[in-house]
Amino acid sequence: MRKKEVKHLISIDQLSTQEIDNLIKVANNIITNPNKYKEKCNGKILATLFFEPSTRTRLSFESAMLRLGGNVLGFSEASSSSTAKGESVADTIKVVSGYADIIVMRHPKEGAPLVACHNSDIPIINAGDGGHNHPTQTLTDLLTIHREKGRLNNLVIGLCGDLKFGRTVHSLISAMSKYENIKFILISPEELQLPEYIKKDILEKNEIEYIETNDILEYMSKLDILYMTRVQKERFFNEADYIRLKDYYILDSNKLGKAKEDLCIMHPLPRVNEISTSVDNDPRAKYFIQAKYGVYIRMALILKLLEVE
């Protein structure tokens, strides 16, 4: 008998728009009927292997599994795992795949989740690999955009901050490029511009319109979405560069003066200084509800990968 194919989520482009739309549909259904889902994963175990810091991604996955009636185990820092003794990712995964039914992992090395899925006979979910990808943050972002704007097409999306190292930006661009009539305004200092490979392989290849600027105000009045990001301190080689760039953008109420009334302000969080807390009370600020939506879309994803009806 042929071995059953195991489903993993390593990169967002593994999902078609139809699969994404289905996940959004299930997440919306969970929001309306949570009770229908509370025993769906009885007896199942989710392992969270976090080799890098996290608050939202790890806890929202744990919350998602617990709300589905399943259980969770894992570690939240590499130093408390056998990685500190020199164990390879491949070996850790081979072992944990005997302890759980599904694994969520975050790792500082780009490509580590790909190595993991070659060594696992249970589903692996990439919860962030270095400055590369973060597909489940993107699913969270897509659910947020869908709920807050009512559509995933016909949008002008401003992405602001660290577009070079920000993995959430890379995955979001990849996903949104599959929808109709999307325009990107890429707002960053020159040193933190979007990597060339993403411009070429995704934007130019799919003929997606984009503009690069370092001025957050220049296109403010045109934006439907403003996606702010933190300068990714942990990816810098040089502390002086980080200090010089970290407060390059600080979004405050004055800067929103010309913005649309139905602008949707998003941020994957954690926020450092890039959005003033005075913006939090603006009805256009959606970043805390965005974090909450992360639980429901992750519930939908767990159900899909575990093939629970």
Q: Looking at beta carbons only, is 40 or 267 nearer to ligand NCD?
A: 267
Instruction: Specify the stretch interacting with ligand NCD by CB under 6 A; choose among 77-85, 118-126, 149-157, 268-276.
Output: 268-276
Q: Is residue 56 involved in binding ligand NCD (CB under 6 A)?
A: yes
Instruction: Specify the stretch interacting with ligand NCD by CB under 6 A; choose among 24-32, 40-48, 81-89, 266-274.
Output: 266-274
Q: Looking at beta carbons only, is 37 or 62 nearer to ligand NCD?
A: 62
Q: Is residue 183 involved in binding ligand NCD (CB under 6 A)?
A: no
CA–CA separation, 131 vs 230, rounded Å?
Answer: 12
Q: Is residue 268 involved in binding ligand NCD (CB under 6 A)?
A: yes
User: Please, what is the minimum distance in Å from the beta carbon of residue 54 to ligand NCD?
Assistant: 6
Q: Is residue 57 involved in binding ligand NCD (CB under 6 A)?
A: yes
User: Please, what is the minimum distance in Å from the beta carbon of residue 65 to ligand NCD?
Assistant: 17
| Percentages of the chain per state (helix, strand, coil), in multiples of 5 | 45, 15, 40
> How many CB atoms within 10 Å of residue 282?
15
- The single residue among 70, 74, 128, 130 that binds ligand NCD, judged by CB under 6 A, is 128
Q: Looking at beta carbons only, is 112 or 269 nearer to ligand NCD?
A: 269
Q: Looking at beta carbons only, is 70 or 128 nearer to ligand NCD?
A: 128
User: Please, what is the minimum distance in Å from the beta carbon of residue 207 to ligand NCD?
Assistant: 28
If residue 294 lies in a helix (H) or strand (E), which one and from where to where?
A: helix 287-305
CA–CA separation, 69 vs 172, rounded Å?
Answer: 30
Beta bridge partners of 133: 129
| DSSP 8-state class, residue 188 | -
> Interhelix angle for 287-305 vs 17-32, to 10°?
110
If residue 289 lies in a helix (H) or strand (E), which one and from where to where?
A: helix 287-305
What b/e sequence results for 158-197 when a residue is b if at least 16 CB atoms lie within 10 Å of its CB, and e otherwise?
A: bbbbbbbbbbbbbbbbbbbbbbeebbbbbbbbeebbbeee
User: Please, what is the minimum distance in Å from the beta carbon of residue 232 to ligand NCD?
Assistant: 6
User: Please, what is the minimum distance in Å from the beta carbon of residue 229 to ligand NCD?
Assistant: 6
Q: Is residue 269 involved in binding ligand NCD (CB under 6 A)?
A: yes
Q: Binding to ligand NCD (CB under 6 A): which residues in 206-235?
A: 230
> How many CB atoms within 10 Å of residue 36?
10
Q: Is residue 134 involved in binding ligand NCD (CB under 6 A)?
A: yes
- Dmax (CA) of the chain: 65
Give the residues lining the site for ligand NCD (CB under 6 A). Answer: 56-57, 128, 134, 137, 167-168, 230, 268-270
